Amino acid sequence: MTAAGAPPIVFVHGTRFSAGQWSPQLAALREDFPVAAVDLPGHGVRSAQPWSLDAATEIIASAVDGFERGPALVVGHSLGGYASLEFARRCPERLRGLVLAGASASTRGPWATPYRWVAGLVPRIPANRLARWNDRLLRRLYPPEVVEATIRSGYAFHTLPAAWGEVLGRFDAGAMRHVAAPVLLLNGEKDTVFRSGEPAFARAHPHARVELIPRAGHLANFDAPDAFTDAVRRFALQLPVGG
């Protein structure tokens, strides 16, 4: 049964994945919180929808409004984290708290160059080959209950160039100044690339804190699903009632 005052939680997936990425968290939290996971434009059931941050923001806002319970906690991973930052800027009245997972690196400057290269390379590789590689990798690294929903939903490689083309060059720690709600930077301990701006992101917000998932990498919610879920749960329960 949902606890009185428990905030709704909206989960926003990362690059190439879909709402299925969050199946372990949804299963663990749904008895205590109203929860939902969205498919961003160009991903999952919205595979045919063109990518844009405008559309991503509208999708997150629609999920928050669907609870009809006021502002929500939004949890965004990687690409979904940057989309969630944009949502926080545009819709502050709908946000009760923000968890950025694997999304505390500046997308500006020299470090972005390899990601531009990857975004240009992906369309040259057949999508079915990329899907087979991803299926094998996920099944080798993680138990079925963690990744099967992601595998069933397929991958949005076709959207990667447009999505990262818009995100790269757009976000840095200054984006945190537009977030009115409390923020948790929830990163895998070993996610060195996407933790690279962690201190600056934390300093830029008066109510931000950092929590690391021990021994986890960029896919921290796959590497340590229980620890990731516990961190989200604790943060949600600490949020001020009413945002």
Distance between CA atoms of 222 and 212, rounded to whole angstroms?
14
Q: What is the pLDDT of residues 105-162, one digit of tens each?
A: 999 877 666 566 566 666 777 889 999 999 999 999 999 999 999 999 999 999 998 9
Secondary element (H or E) of residue 35: strand 35-38
Contact by Cβ (8 Å): 82, 107: yes
Secondary element (H or E) of residue 231: helix 225-238
Q: 113-121 vs 160-167: helix axis angle to the nearest 10?
A: 160
pLDDT of residue 127: 84
Q: What is the pLDDT of residues 7-54, one digit of tens each?
A: 999 999 999 999 999 999 999 999 999 999 999 999 999 999 999 999
pTM: 0.95
Q: What is the pLDDT of residues 155-187, one digit of tens each?
A: 999 999 899 989 998 999 999 999 999 999 999
